[in-house]
Amino acid sequence: MHNRDVEKVIARDKPVWEAAAEFCLRLANRSVEDHNAFFWALAGGSTPKKLYQTLTQAPYRQSFPWAQTHVFFGDERCVAADHADSNYRMARENLLDQVPIPENHVHPMAGDRPPEQAAADYDRQVRDLVPGEPTPRLDLVLLGMGDDGHTASLFPDSRALGETEHLVCANHVAKLGAWRLTMTYPLLNAAAHVAFLVTGGNKAEIVRRVLQDGGGIYPIEKVRGEKQIWFLDEQAGGLL
Ligand code: 6PG
């Protein structure tokens, strides 16, 4: 499917994280107006850091509905919460410790527990906390993309790609020689909005293949969501 019918924002007149922050703010306030909550799954990796830092500054810090925001994680490395590789630690340092979000609204995956058990527990948590039938409906899932077309921890040739029942699963990633915890397609695709944040010229070719060739060969291509928006800096969007 060529030119996938998704919204693309290639930031030229402002940093891409500024455009993404404006989107998150608008969506959060709209979600709160609609159902008095904003259910948000954060992305890991390094790209989101500047977006998170932007949200801790004016005007976002004051106007974001933190008291009604509930934060989840799209994936996690199987490490302790204070480990340098922890997505939870990254989100704490760059966002959560600097905004007035209620502590019991932050729901980390248990990277330090046996992966299968941690995944089952998180599946239960999401089902208990996020409304939606038959599948919990997150208001926003923020995701990044690796240069192999993975997103969250849905890596090429990994077992999690075939998961159709569970909302969260443990996924052994052979190329990393490591276990990950990840939301799966059933949960991601039930989301009201999916926003990808991708930067850097090293990802321009994979962005072009995903958004123009649409060959469906990369894990990220199977992520849908009711609405999908791509936030790209000029380098990552340079081949579109
Ligand atoms: C992770 C992320 C992963 C990430 C991509 C891009 O845990 O690493 O969930 O999917 O978004 O690997 O990572 P960068 O933003 O660091 O390029």
Q: Which ligand 1 atom minimizes the distance to the CA of 143?
A: 11
- DSSP assignment, residue 154? B
User: Does the beta carbon of 236 lie inside 6 Å of ligand 1?
Assistant: no
Name the pTM for this structure. 0.97
Please report the pLDDT score of residue 112 as a whole number.
98
User: Does the beta carbon of 199 lie inside 6 Å of ligand 1?
Assistant: no
User: Does the beta carbon of 200 lie inside 6 Å of ligand 1?
Assistant: no
Cα dihedral 40, 43, 44, 48, rounded to 10, equals -110
Q: Give the largest CA-CA distance in the chain.
A: 46
35 C-alpha to ligand 1 centroid (Å): 30
Per residue, the 3-state secondary structure of 100-151, as one string, reads CCCHHHECCCCCCCCHHHHHHHHHHHHHHHCCCCCCCCCCEEEECCCCCCCE
Instruction: Give per-residue pLDDT as tens, 10-37.
Output: 999 999 999 999 999 999 999 999 999 9
Instruction: Give per-residue pLDDT as tens, 93-114.
Output: 999 999 999 999 999 999 999 9
Phi, psi of 217 (to 5 degrees): -95, -10
User: Tokens in use for 52?
Assistant: 């998170």
